[in-house]
């Protein structure tokens, strides 16, 4: 079973936690001017990136507080945790070195470069 | 490529079965195709087959990163049913079930479709009410769902324990549903498509898309660049990775879903049993193994490994429902990366890139739709216009709000 380190309670089993998906999704600043397409993008669409991702977790059967986890969803390794408001956790250099042998993309938010980052996002 | 028949079986038995030809070729990737299907699972191979067989497009390639049917096609619990609540889903899944029932003779390959009947157990008054509502909706769409009393459930499943922690109070029953051999479906479609001239390229990974002025022109693959008119991506859990190559996102989360099989035993169960309430699905394969489906993990993952917690969660209620299982050893356990959408309904859609189509989001229940999904997707690709059954499953529904909510209707068990 995976072990998750709650920044307040320490390492516990994964079943104590609830994963709430991608971190760092900001509510659109100017909601009143948002059209259906904008709302759809905000509410439903996700990066769902393969590789190292930042996620929001909640210690739902513990202290019930939320935190940020940095995790590689290909190996299921947790790489770091932070409390809300703190800086996002960084990928440990040892893991980064191990990854340089493999071809697992890293998102920009985690300080890495996805292989698609060079691409210009198409305008809808 | 030989035609399978009693005559061919007799003829080859005279020579000790040493001269059977390969079921499909291993062609090299050509420089251009009219249509390329990305993903050599059941849905992708079915799409290619119907393109060539029914819609007259034979200059088609199927590109597969691994081996045929090695993803979720080979990792599911093989259940084929169509009892879905919403009209759009009912049409889609019933289309698949009807094609499944004639598939073996159509493909000249035994996909071992067995309409043995599927029971969905009810454990509470709420379950009974929900099933009654769904059965009514299904009957209006021509899908025969019957409501069974507890006594009839016991008649059909003599081994069941009705009085567990969550007592069995009845069941919804679809008699023309059942299961099929998952590998056989992939192989049958591959062989039939190959006979019609479709190039099936295995061990070929798509690395990027060639897009000019918002229109797809080709793919960059591990075996070189290839040009094409249209592309149909059928990549289940990895769809978001391919969407990123096209420069857009999908409403989708990839999670691990796992299943396990027991050691083979003598025939003990001739139905498929599901329970949304305690989250169980169970059937017995022709080899005698009990095939057990577990729940999806609660966190995203591309690992193709399920968590121990999910395995534990399925086996405890299962042992309570069927106490004889407690003495069985589990032979194999595996996980697949499934693509879960917010409304638990698939996506068959155009994309912001012209000529690029996606067929994904089947989540935890795509096997049953393999034939139907392939058929309507092939029609959409060939005609450059979404098939009427596929049309409601467009990406546009996440902007308009016309979502097809099967999350509550199908519950956790698909």
Q: DSSP string of B220-288?
A: EETTEEEEEEEEEE--GGGHHHHHHHHT--BS-EEEEEEEEEE---SS---SEEEETTTTEEEEE-TTS
Query: Which chain B residues are within 8 Å of A71, Cβ to Cβ?
Result: 299
Give the model's confidence band at A102: pLDDT under 50 very low, under 70 low, under 90 confident, else very high: low
Q: What is the dihedral of CA B88, B94, B100, B103, to 10 degrees?
A: -80
Contact B252, B340 (CB under 8 A): yes
Phi, psi of A38 (to 5 degrees): -65, -45
The per-residue pLDDT for A115 is 41
| A102 alpha carbon, distance to own chain's centre | 20
B314 found inside a domain: no
Contact B96, B371 (CB under 8 A): yes
B153 found inside a domain: no
Cα distance between residue B394 and residue B358, in whole Å: 9
Burial class (CB within 10 angstroms; exposed 0-12, middle 13-18, buried 19+) of A38: middle
Answer whether B249 sits within 8 Å of A119, measured CB to CB.
no
Cα distance between residue A21 and residue A4, in whole Å: 15
Answer whether B298 sits within 8 Å of A49, measured CB to CB.
no
Cα distance between residue A119 and residue B246, in whole Å: 9
In the DSSP assignment, the letter for residue B135 is H
Mean pLDDT of A94-114: 55
- Find, in chain B, the residue whose alpha carbon is nearest to that of A34: B399
| B192 alpha carbon, distance to own chain's centre | 18
Cα distance between residue A113 and residue A120, in whole Å: 14
Q: Tell me: pLDDT of A121 over 90.
A: no
The alpha carbon of residue B245 is apart from the nearest alpha carbon of chain A, in Å, by: 6
Pairing of strands B206-212, A3-6: unpaired
How many contacts (CB atoms, under 8 Å) link A and B?
A: 92
What CATH number corresponds to the domain at position B73?
3.50.50.60
Q: Return the CA Rg of chain B.
A: 21
A50-86 per-residue burial string, b: 16 or more CB within 10 A, e: under 16: bbbbbbbbbbbeeeeebbbbbbbbbbbebbbbbeeee
Q: Given CATH 3.40.50.11810, say whether it is the number of domain A3-110.
A: no
Question: A interface mutation test: which of B210, B296, B345, B399 has the most A CBs within 10 A?
Answer: B399
Which residues lie across from B230 on neighbouring strands?
A: B35
Cα distance between residue B352 and residue A98, in whole Å: 36
Note which residues in 71-100 of chain A have CB less than 8 A from chain B.
Answer: 71, 73-76
Q: Give me the domain span that covers residue B229.
A: 30-109+182-251+343-410
Contact B232, B362 (CB under 8 A): no
Contact B121, B130 (CB under 8 A): no
Answer whether A36 sits within 8 Å of B342, measured CB to CB.
no
B298 found inside a domain: no
Which residues lie across from B221 on neighbouring strands?
A: B206, B224
B92 found inside a domain: yes
The per-residue pLDDT for B412 is 47
Mean pLDDT of A52-76: 95
Q: Tell me: pLDDT of A118 over 60.
A: no
Answer whether B245 sits within 8 Å of A119, measured CB to CB.
yes
Picking from B178, B158, B185, the residue whose alpha carbon sits closest to that of residue B73 is B185
Give the model's confidence band at A120: pLDDT under 50 very low, under 70 low, under 90 confident, else very high: very low
Contact A19, A71 (CB under 8 A): no
pLDDT in tens, chain B (414 residues): 678 999 999 999 999 998 899 999 999 999 999 999 999 999 999 999 999 999 999 999 999 999 999 999 999 999 999 999 999 999 999 999 999 999 999 999 999 999 999 999 999 999 999 999 999 999 999 999 999 999 999 999 999 999 999 999 999 999 999 999 999 999 999 999 999 999 999 999 999 999 999 999 999 999 999 999 999 999 999 999 999 999 999 999 999 999 999 999 999 999 999 998 888 889 999 999 999 998 889 899 999 888 888 888 889 999 999 999 999 999 999 999 999 999 999 999 999 999 999 999 999 999 999 999 999 999 999 999 999 999 999 999 999 999 999 886 554 444
B101 found inside a domain: yes
Number of domains forming the structure of chain B: 1
Model pTM score: 0.92
Helices (H), chain A: 36-43, 93-101
Contact B342, B398 (CB under 8 A): yes
Give the model's confidence band at A94: pLDDT under 50 very low, under 70 low, under 90 confident, else very high: confident
Answer whether B247 sits within 8 Å of A15, measured CB to CB.
no
Residue B128: CB atoms within 10 Å: 16
B108 touches chain A (CB under 8 A): no
């Amino acid at each position: 079973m995976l072990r998750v380190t709650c920044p307040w309670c320490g390492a516990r089993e994964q079943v104590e936690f609830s994963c709430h998906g991608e971190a760092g999704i900001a509510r659109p600043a100017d909601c009143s001017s948002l059209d259906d397409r904008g709302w759809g993008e905000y509410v439903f669409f996700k990066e769902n990136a393969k590789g190292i991702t930042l996620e929001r977790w909640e210690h739902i059967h513990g202290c019930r507080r939320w935190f940020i986890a940095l995790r590689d969803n290909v190996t299921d390794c947790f790489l770091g945790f932070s409390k809300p408001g703190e800086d996002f956790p960084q990928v440990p250099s040892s893991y980064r070195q191990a990854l340089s042998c493999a071809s697992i993309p890293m998102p920009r938010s985690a300080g890495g470069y996805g292989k698609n980052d060079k691409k210009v996002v198409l305008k809808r | 490529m030989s035609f399978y028949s009693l005559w061919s079986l007799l003829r080859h038995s005279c020579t000790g079965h040493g001269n059977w030809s390969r079921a499909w070729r291993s062609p090299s990737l050509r420089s251009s195709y009219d249509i390329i299907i990305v993903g050599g699972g059941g849905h992708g191979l079915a799409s290619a087959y119907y393109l060539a067989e029914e819609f007259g497009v034979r200059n088609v390639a199927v590109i597969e990163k691994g081996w045929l049917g090695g993803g979720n096609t080979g990792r599911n619990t093989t259940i084929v049913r169509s009892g879905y609540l919403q009209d759009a889903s009912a049409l889609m899944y019933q289309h698949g079930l009807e094609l499944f029932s004639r598939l073996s003779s159509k493909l000249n390959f035994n996909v071992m479709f067995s309409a043995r009947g599927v029971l969905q157990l009810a454990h509470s008054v709420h379950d009974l009410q929900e099933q009654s509502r769904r059965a009514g909706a299904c009957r209006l769409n021509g899908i025969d769902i019957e409501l069974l009393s507890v006594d009839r459930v016991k008649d059909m499943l003599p081994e069941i324990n009705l009085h567990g922690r969550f007592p069995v109070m009845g069941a919804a029953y679809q008699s023309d549903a059942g299961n099929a051999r998952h590998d056989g479906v992939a192989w049958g479609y591959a062989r039939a498509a190959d006979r019609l001239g479709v190039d099936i390229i295995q061990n070929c990974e798509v690395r990027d898309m060639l897009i000019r002025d918002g229109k797809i022109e080709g793919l960059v693959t591990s075996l070189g660049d290839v040009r094409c008119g249209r592309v149909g991506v059928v990549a289940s859990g990895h769809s978001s990775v391919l969407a990123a190559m096209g420069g857009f996102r999908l409403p989708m989360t990839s999670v691990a879903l796992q299943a396990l099989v027991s050691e083979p035993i003598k025939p003990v169960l001739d139905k498929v049993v599901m329970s949304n309430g305690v989250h169980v699905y169970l059937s017995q394969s022709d080899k005698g193994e009990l095939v057990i489906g577990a729940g999806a993990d609660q966190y995203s993952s591309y690992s193709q490994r399920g968590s121990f917690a999910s395995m534990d969660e399925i086996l405890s209620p299962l042992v309570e429902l069927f106490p004889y299982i407690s003495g069985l050893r589990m032979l194999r356990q595996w996980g697949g990366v499934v693509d879960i959408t917010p409304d638990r309904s698939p996506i068959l859609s155009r994309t912001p890139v012209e000529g690029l189509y996606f067929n994904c989001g089947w989540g935890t229940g795509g096997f049953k739709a393999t034939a139907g999904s392939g058929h309507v997707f092939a029609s959409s690709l060939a005609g450059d216009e979404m098939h009427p059954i596929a049309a409601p499953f467009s990406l546009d529904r996440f902007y308009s709000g016309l979502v097809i909510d099967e999350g509550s209707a199908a519950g956790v068990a698909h």
